[in-house]
Amino acid sequence: MEKSMTSGSIYRLIIVFALPILLSNLFQQLYNSADSLIVGHFLGNDALAAVSSSGNLIAMLVGLFNGIAMGAGVVIARNFGAKRYDELKRAIHTDIALGLIMGIILTILGALLTPLILELMGTPESVMDESIAYLRIYFYGSIGLVMYNIFTGILQSLGDSKHPLYYLIVSSLTNIVLDYVLIAYFDAGVAGAAFATIFSQFLSAFLCMILLQRSKDSYRLIYRDIKIDKEMTKAILINGIPSGIQNSIIGIANVVVQSNINAFGNLAMAGCGAYSKIEGFAFLPVTSFNLALTTFVGQNMGADLKERAKKGAIFGIVLSMVLAEAIGLLTVIFAPELIALFANDPEVIGFGVDRATIAGIFFFLCAFTHAYSSVLRGLGKAVIPMLNMAISWCVIRVAFLVITGFLFNDIAFVYWCYPITWAISSAYYIYYIIRHKGVIA
């Protein structure tokens, strides 16, 4: 099941490891987009706006817990690379225990805070009820989402990126079928879309859990061993809390962005929401190589192979940027046709196309920032990307929106806040690399 990345061809290992993650993310995005596609065609623009505008709020609330899961992945990868199997076993079982606790907390917070946050975001009354219904059901099942991310992070840290792909294919197809049946035949509305999503997440989490339980390796999942280990919890939180704070801060900034979009009405919400689904697909190569980079760097640094980690980091960063820019340009070219998959209204399509045109040509900047952040997390330096993102992607982004919103009240400035802050965070990382005389210092 597991695969060491401390020996063999660097380039082949990273690509072979990243490809299943790419396909996994493709299916993840596919079943996320299935909600919007089916909702948009069967329930109309208001329902599409309700589902689409929920994405940033979900990312904000889930971000902290996913970041902690990423921190656990670094601890697991390092122990696996160093062949410290007793510590590896304790890290895995502690990670699962933390996941269960986080899932319960997220369920409670999501259910309680959903109406308040949607109101603070300026969600139009016309879509408020449907937005609350969608999000509440989604968060009632959020423990499935958290545990899927926990189990997937464990498997990927062990070098296994294939089984999460297989299970995600099953859950994605399940989600699409349930979406169609519940909305088209049972008239379940946006609540049906939310139920389909959470059921699919529980299914994929269950399949990952069974795989770990049936493993014959020393770190096999044993239910009675699921408990909080003080030493491992400390190591996981030291690596994970900065990543979690980073994710949450970015999520908060994106909620502010969504609030600005909401001010331009439900057609803008629908158009920008449709674009966000397209962007989700466009960034799949970036996300895939990010995970591969963190695992590769973590395992090799755990095995004290610094030069090997450095070569892999440079290769992953460059390839991620090239792929992202190529996809970004294709997104710009085919934006009208892509946005039209989600909505037929010309004004909705116009909003989506405008946003795609401004963002697409700068995808390479976003790719560089994410890729180097992943390298730093693999090095155990998660605080650096946290601070960079907090300043450039949150403080500066929000300040830009407040100033331009007051002066111009033009939605184009909302679109521009992304590439501008991508450029600022990239500039800082270039300065950091020059100052420390290398990608890995």
Per-residue pLDDT band at 52 (split at 50, 70, 90): low
User: Would you state the pLDDT for residue 344?
Assistant: 82
For the record, the structure tokens of 225 come out as: 């061993």
What value does the mean pLDDT take over residues 146-175?
Answer: 88
What are 350-362's pLDDT values in tens digits? 999 999 999 999 9
Number of neighbours of residue 347 by Cβ within 10 angstroms: 14
CA–CA distance, 6 with 137 (Å, rounded to integer): 43
Inform me whether the pLDDT recorded for 47 exceeds 80: no
CA–CA distance, 136 with 126 (Å, rounded to integer): 17
CB environment 299-311: b (16+ within 10 A), e (fewer): bbbbbebeebbbb
How far from chain centre, in Å, is Cα 262? 22
Q: Which of 2-6, 57-61, 111-115, 356-360 has the highest mean pLDDT?
A: 356-360
User: Would you state the pLDDT for residue 147?
Assistant: 92
User: Would you state the pLDDT for residue 32?
Assistant: 66
User: Would you state the pLDDT for residue 126?
Assistant: 79
Inform me whether the pLDDT recorded for 53 exceeds 80: no
What are 74-127's pLDDT values in tens digits? 899 888 888 888 999 999 999 999 999 989 998 898 888 888 878 876 777 877
Per-residue pLDDT band at 61 (split at 50, 70, 90): low
User: Would you state the pLDDT for residue 365?
Assistant: 95
CA–CA distance, 299 with 23 (Å, rounded to integer): 23
Q: pLDDT above 70 covers what percent of the chain?
A: 94
What are 430-440's pLDDT values in tens digits? 999 999 988 88
User: Would you state the pLDDT for residue 9?
Assistant: 87
CA–CA distance, 229 with 399 (Å, rounded to integer): 41
3 state SS for 70-127: HHHHHHHHHHHHCCCHHHHHHHHHHHHHHHHHHHHHHHHHHHHHHHHHHHHCCCCHHH
CA–CA distance, 62 with 54 (Å, rounded to integer): 12
SS3 365: helix
> What is the average pLDDT value for the chain, to the nearest integer?
86
User: Would you state the pLDDT for residue 431?
Assistant: 96
What amino acid occupies position 301? M
CA–CA distance, 424 with 290 (Å, rounded to integer): 20
User: Would you state the pLDDT for residue 34?
Assistant: 66
Instruction: Tell me the HSE value of 47 on the side-chain side, using a 13 A CA sphere.
Output: 21
* Of 247 and 132, the one with more pLDDT: 132
CA–CA distance, 57 with 5 (Å, rounded to integer): 36
Inform me whether the pLDDT recorded for 151 exceeds 90: yes
* Of 424 and 49, the one with more pLDDT: 424
**Mind giving me the DSSP string for 241-302?**
HHHHHHHHHHHHHHHHHHHHHHTT-HHHHHHHHHHHHHHHHHTHHHHHHHHHHHHHHHHHHH
The whole model's pTM is what? 0.76
> What are the boundaries of each domain within the chain?
10-435
**Residue 174 CA: distances (Å) to CA of 185, 248, 371, 399:** 16, 29, 31, 42
What amino acid occupies position 172? S
Per-residue pLDDT band at 225 (split at 50, 70, 90): very high
What value does the mean pLDDT take over residues 248-256?
Answer: 78
What value does the mean pLDDT take over residues 262-276?
Answer: 87
User: Would you state the pLDDT for residue 426?
Assistant: 96
